[in-house]
Amino acid sequence: MESLSSLVAYGVPFLVVLTILVFVHEQGHYLIARLCGVGVDVFSVGFGRELVGMTDRRGTRWKIGWIPIGGYVKFRGDANVASVPADAAEFSPEERASLFQFKPLGYRAAVVVAGPAANFLFAIVIFAVMFATLGQPYTPAVVSQVQADSAAAAAGFEPGDRVLAINGTAIDRFEDMQRIVRLALDEPLDVRVRRADGTEVALSAQPRIVELTDRFGNIHRVGQLGVAVSGQEFVRHGPGAAVWQAIKQTADVTVSTLGAIGQMITGTRPADELRGPLGIVEMSGQAASIGIVPIIQFMAFLSISLGLINVLPIPLLDGGHLMFYGIEAVLGRPLGERSQEVGFRIGLALVVTLMLFATWNDLVHLKVVQFVVDTLS
């Protein structure tokens, strides 16, 4: 039970990271709502009973709930925290002007999109600051050594090869190449290289799937070519270049995350790699134990994941609201209350099921399930 007991020590970094990310997400909703003239009744970090709070001059209650997972912005005219519209008859014609449900479709969509967008923007800011101050990892994508009996050897890689592109994606540095190869679990890669003599050669490489164990004992299933490179350094960028590289980094992480999810859906990648709240607690603590820079990097990656999760077309999430707005745009009218209610119930069931599955993975990873089995046997 050593892994489980370590979660207690990891709790503080997790709460700090999650609180910041939730605040950023909800602040996105709040700022655009204010810009669109929508009244905001409650801005909450956490759920449940209020621990501490204050009411500003606009009548918005800012509070922290005792359940420190998630948060919400309750707009004027919402019947609950899921933004289900209240009965319009409860409000006067003057009050309706500030109700979320009476705003134009474009305004409502903008308010919903602003939450996930804030998470992506936050990640870009983190990466940009790091690239401008500490520098961006840069390793030339030039092969210095090819391991015998490796996927690279079978594909025809040679020392001195400069990797130019993989599956049509330009490769500027080894880190770009590594990101693509690690996700290649089910199909060969079309690689274009430039030989030491200047000629360009097209290669086809099928990465071999290996299991790597990190410093914390976590096992990762990744693709591997079997090439070695050298000369890593950290390159500092000016403000403009740092922002551009940060945007590219955020896009790369987004594509990689979606690719991993797709592999889980198709069965190429085992679904037990999906981690839940306990897993995030553990990873937060592990990153914090290394230093301030790793925990900030982890925050950026988690912010992207939070943004992606929220744009999934599942009722109850931001993506579900956008899906309803898309239907409204096509029909020329909102879905009926009954249809929306059914949709939210389905969304709740999906979210709870996914959370339970991810938490089960956490318990297995933390050896809690094995401990229970050993105790009862």
Domain parsing of the chain, residue ranges: 2-36+103-134+285-376, 137-235
Task: Determine the Cα–Cα distance for residues 265 and 233; give it in Å rounded to an integer.
Answer: 37
Burial classification of residue 119, based on how many CB atoms lie within 10 Å of its CB (0-12 exposed, 13-18 middle, 19 or more buried): buried
CATH of the structural domain 137-235, one choice from 3.30.470.20, 2.30.42.10, 1.50.10.10, 1.10.287.470 = 2.30.42.10
Angle between helices 2-35 and 105-133 (to 10 degrees): 120
CA atoms of 106 and 83, how far apart (whole Å) = 16
Name beta bridge partners: 373.
none
- What pLDDT does residue 345 have? 86
Give Dmax over CA atoms of the chain in angstroms. Answer: 78
Under the phi-then-psi rule, with left for phi > 0, alpha for psi from -120 to 50, and beta for the rest, what region is 219?
Answer: beta
Q: What is the pLDDT of residue 107?
A: 94
Phi then psi for residue 136, to 5 deg, are: -105, 135
Tokens coding 26: 């909800």
User: 141 in helix, strand or coil?
Assistant: coil
In the block, which residue shows the tokens 């094995």? 370
Mean pLDDT for the chain? Answer: 85
Q: Which of 70, 60, 54 is nearest to 22 (CA)?
A: 70
333 burial (CB, 10 Å; 0-12 / 13-18 / 19+) is exposed
> Nearest-5° angle of CA 165, CA 176, CA 119?
130
Burial class (CB in 10 A: 0-12, 13-18, 19+), 149: exposed
Query: Comparing C-alpha atoms, which of 67, 127, 142 is closest to residue 304?
Result: 127
Give the pLDDT of residue 247: 96
Active-site positions?
A: 26
CA distance 64 to 47: 8
Query: How confident is the model at residue 97, as a pLDDT?
Result: 81
- Cite the DSSP H helix spans in 184-336: 239-266, 277-290, 292-310, 318-331
The CA distance from 20 to 45, in Å, is 9
In eight-state DSSP terms, residue 78 is B
Residues 94-139 pLDDT 10s: 777 888 888 899 999 999 999 999 999 999 999 999 999 999 988 8
CB of 25 closer than 8 Å to CB of 118: yes
Q: pLDDT tens digit string along 62-91?
A: 999 988 888 899 888 776 665 666 666 667
Cα 63 to Cα 239: distance, rounded to the nearest angstrom: 36
Residues 306, 300: Cα–Cα separation, whole Å: 10
Query: What is the rounded CA–CA span in Å between residue 208 and residue 153?
Result: 12
pLDDT at 374: 47
Place of tokens 């993989």: 166
Of 150, 149, 225, 143, residue with least CA distance to 188:
225
- Say which residue the tokens 């889980």 belong to: 264
- For the chain (377 residues), the mean pLDDT of every run of 10, in chain order, is 56 84 95 94 91 92 88 80 62 78 91 96 96 92 91 92 93 90 86 93 91 70 88 89 95 88 78 74 76 88 92 88 91 83 85 81 64 49
Secondary structure (DSSP) of 13-64: HHHHHHHHHHHHHHHHHHHHHHHTT--EEEEEEEEEEEEEEEE-TTS-EEEE
The CA distance from 72 to 30, in Å, is 10
**Beta-bridge mates of residue 64:** 45, 52
Interatomic CA distance for residues 221 and 214, integer angstroms? 11
